[in-house]
Amino acid sequence: MNLAEWRERDSLYEASARRRVLGLLDQHSFQEILGPAERITSPHLEQLGFPVSFDDGVVIGSGLLNGKKVLIAAQESGFMGGAVGEVHGAKITGLLQLALISPVTAVLLVLDTGGVRLHEANAGLVAISEILHAAFRVREAGIPILVLIGGSNGCYGGMGIFARCCDYVIMSEEGRLSVAGPEVIETAGGVEEFDSRDRALVWRTMGGKHRYLLGDADRLVVDDIQAFRAVAIEVMQKPKPLSLESILREHQCLGERLVAYGECKDAFDIWKKLGIPEFGAIPLMDNDSFHAIVKPYLPKEGTEEETEHDR
């Protein structure tokens, strides 16, 4: 991507949830479910005197992706940090249950969230657990779930665990994926443990490039809605069934990771151990040069056949 193309790109990071949905799906195909006109808001935020949103911060519905019927949900980064409350979570759970009733090719989830909405703490936590249980039924039915991460909130907390329970994680460099967020780690361990204001540190610890290099993200794309769409089209008919074999393979990979990188203090140490000579320059590489440079150092297994996890 040259500079002119980069300027012309349709940034997912900067787009609203609704804009993301419209850009990902085929034109004029989106049909929203429980849209703002239905005024389904969070009763708990209201009780606390907080502003509510008519979609409770998540847009859901059906549409076409390259002519195939899909379901889609996108979290609104600007509302409560994309966090999951009772209604917000139930919309996603209901959408996943709908996939079992009215068959679709795939489910796309554009996640942009700090995790549990602490204003609805208990209900938020169980809401994410319900999303997870519903997602496993969808996977069992052979319908792949694609998680897209590239928004300003990243994907944290229970939703960070959930994302890795789906078939595919597609990230941009701008995306971040973790369970404990920077501020949480800093609050627990002090600034010596983690300086949450050090943006470079945050991105190389949790950002898209690092997650892709270790295999926690299946794909890394440039921050362009059309780039996310292209990868979604490519993988949407390739479910990755959860089987004993696939889980054992993942177990082996995660075990090897503990041994190989357990002593590493920083992402730079890991990238160096991966054998990438230009490891120090990785954070500044654009998407194309990053892929060109790191390709030989990605473990071979799984790159073509999209096995559970693990490149």
Partner 1 sequence: MTVDHTLDKLFSGGYHIKKDGLVISGFGVCHGQTVAIIGTIDHAAIGIESAFTLAAAVLEVIQHFPQRPILLMVDTQGQRLTQRDELLANNSYLAHLAKCLELAHHRGHRVVSLVYGEAVSGGFFATGMMAERAYALPDAQIRVMALQAMTRVTKIPLEQLDELCKTSAIFGPGITNFVRLGIIEDVWQGDLGNCLDRALRLPADYDNRAELGCERGGREWAAKVAFRVRTSAEKA
If we measure between CA atoms, which residue out of 163, 117, 170 comes closest to residue 148? 170
Is 74 a binding residue for partner 1 by CB under 8 A? The answer is: no
Cα–Cα distance between 85 and 65 in angstroms, integer? 28
Q: How far is the CB of 304 from partner 1 (least distance, A)?
A: 21
Site for partner 1 in 174-233 (CB under 8 A): 177-180, 184-185, 188-189, 193-194, 205-206, 210-211, 214, 216
What's the min distance (Å) between Cβ of 221 and partner 1? 19
One residue of 133, 197, 199, 238 binding partner 1 per CB under 8 A: 133
Looking at the Cβ atoms of 262 and 296, the one nearer to partner 1 is: 262
Q: Which residues within the stretch 93-122 sit at the binding site for partner 1 (CB under 8 A)? A: 93-95, 97-98, 101-102, 116, 118-122
Q: Which of residues 251-310 bind partner 1 (CB under 8 A)?
A: 251, 254-255, 257-258, 261-262, 264-267, 270, 309
d(CA 263, CA 234): 37
Nearer Cβ to partner 1 (15/42): 42
| Stretch near partner 1 under the rule CB under 8 A, chosen from 13-21, 133-141, 218-226, 281-289 | 133-141
The percent of the chain in helix, strand and coil, each rounded to the nearest 5, is 45, 15, 40
Residues 6+ positions from 84 with CB-CB distance below 8 Å: 92, 113, 115, 116, 117, 124, 127, 128, 131, 158, 159
Which H or E element spans position 300? none
Pick 248 or 281: Cβ nearer partner 1: 248
Q: In the complex, what is the shortest distance from the CB of residue 276 to partner 1, in angstroms, rounded to a whole number?
A: 16
Instruction: Please say whether the beta carbons of 85 and 92 come within 8 A.
Output: no
> Among residues 26, 28, 73, 78, which one has the least CA distance to residue 51?
78
Q: Which one of 12, 22, 25, 40 is in contact with partner 1 (CB under 8 A)?
A: 40
d(CA 235, CA 271): 27
